[in-house]
Structure 1
Amino acid sequence: MTESTATPSAHSIAGKITAARELFASHGERLLRDKAVAAGLVGLEAAIAECRRAMFDSGIVAACRECEEEEGGSCCGAGIENRYGPTLLLVNLLLGCSLSSKRMSPNSCYFLGETGCVLKVRHILCLNYLCRKIRDLVAHEDLVALQTVMGREMDAVFAVHETVRAFVSR
């Protein structure tokens, strides 16, 4: 069996993407019509936008890009994608993300694209982790404000993830 014809393992990122696509095909329309899921997705998108804006305004986005492009790699290293499960990937599909069939760089997270993460909904580790360089770059009071915004996004991710998980398991 060649790599292109091999069936991906359910535990590999390719297997998790396949599972998410299958869940989307079988449940996507009903999920999007469900009032609780739809309301959760609207709130989640607002929380994501607020957090991304705060990360941009605080200089974190620029610092991460510099680290990736000029210093030989960011925290988004190969293997981070293994933290993602089919349900979180399904939530990304519900928000209109497309999941790539291949990794851009062998040394980076599967989901790291040319302009950063290609996912809208990121794993809690990706949201919450701030390296020493970032913690030194951002003033303490700004970090506290940023972590408050990140907390709102994490709460929204958790709520939607659990709502979708419960819906799919019915």
Structure 2
Amino acid sequence: MIGQDHPIEEKIRCAKGIYEELSLSLSEAPDIVNLLRQYDEAIEATWNRMNDVGVTRICTVCATQDGGSCCGSGIEKRFDVTLLIINLMMGVSLPERPWDDTGCWFLGPRGCTIRARHTICVNYICKRLNASIAQSDLHTLQEAIAREVELGFFLEEKIKRMLMS
């Protein structure tokens, strides 16, 4: 498999090729299917919590009025082939080119275009968010994020082991 330092276009091509070849095997592995379902539920819980505490609103204002910084060009370099495969398993259509050359490859006109995001994308709390959200709300948000990140890690490891065998 290709490494972290390869261009995102190459990683996307590789992920699509592997997924096309192994999608049936992946969809028939009960442990992977179960983890994928749990991970998807955890992602949904994180998004719900982000909406509830105002993260989505604050980030939208930052991105649309202040130029944003979190989803800037180059963030996509952190994504690996396995995470892209997980997105394909979730029915995500990976973009062939960025919507905006100044933003992350996966940033679209309404935010992130993929379901399974890199840990840095999920876990980053900027100064603006930290100052705008009650600490108790941040704590419950971070609990949801921790669950999502943990399940994502377990799923990635399962898939990597399957790919290596």
Instruction: Name the counterpart of 1:72.
Output: 67
The normalised TM-score by structure 1 is 0.92
The answer to whether the 8 A contact 1:13-1:82 is kept is: yes
Instruction: Name the counterpart of 2:10.
Output: 15
Work out which of the residue numbers 23, 29, 34 in structure 1 matches 2:24.
29
C-alpha offsets along residues 135-154 of structure 1, whole Å, 9 cap, x if unaligned? 11110111111101100000
C-alpha offsets along residues 70-125 of structure 1, whole Å, 9 cap, x if unaligned? 11224100000000011110000001101010101111000001111111101011
Instruction: Name the counterpart of 1:156.
Output: 151
Alignment pair present for 1:83 and 2:78: yes
The answer to whether the 8 A contact 1:64-1:74 is kept is: no
User: Where in structure 2 are the equivalents of 1:19-168 lying within 5 Å?
Assistant: 19-168=14-163
Structure 1 residue identity aligned to 2:81: P
* Unaligned segments of structure 2, at least 5 residues: none
What is the SS of the residue equivalent to 2:104? coil
C-alpha offsets along residues 2-60 of structure 1, whole Å, 9 cap, x if unaligned? xxxxxxxx800000000100110111111011101000011001100100000011110
What is the SS of the residue equivalent to 1:51? helix
Instruction: Name the counterpart of 1:3.
Output: none
Q: How many residues align?
A: 161
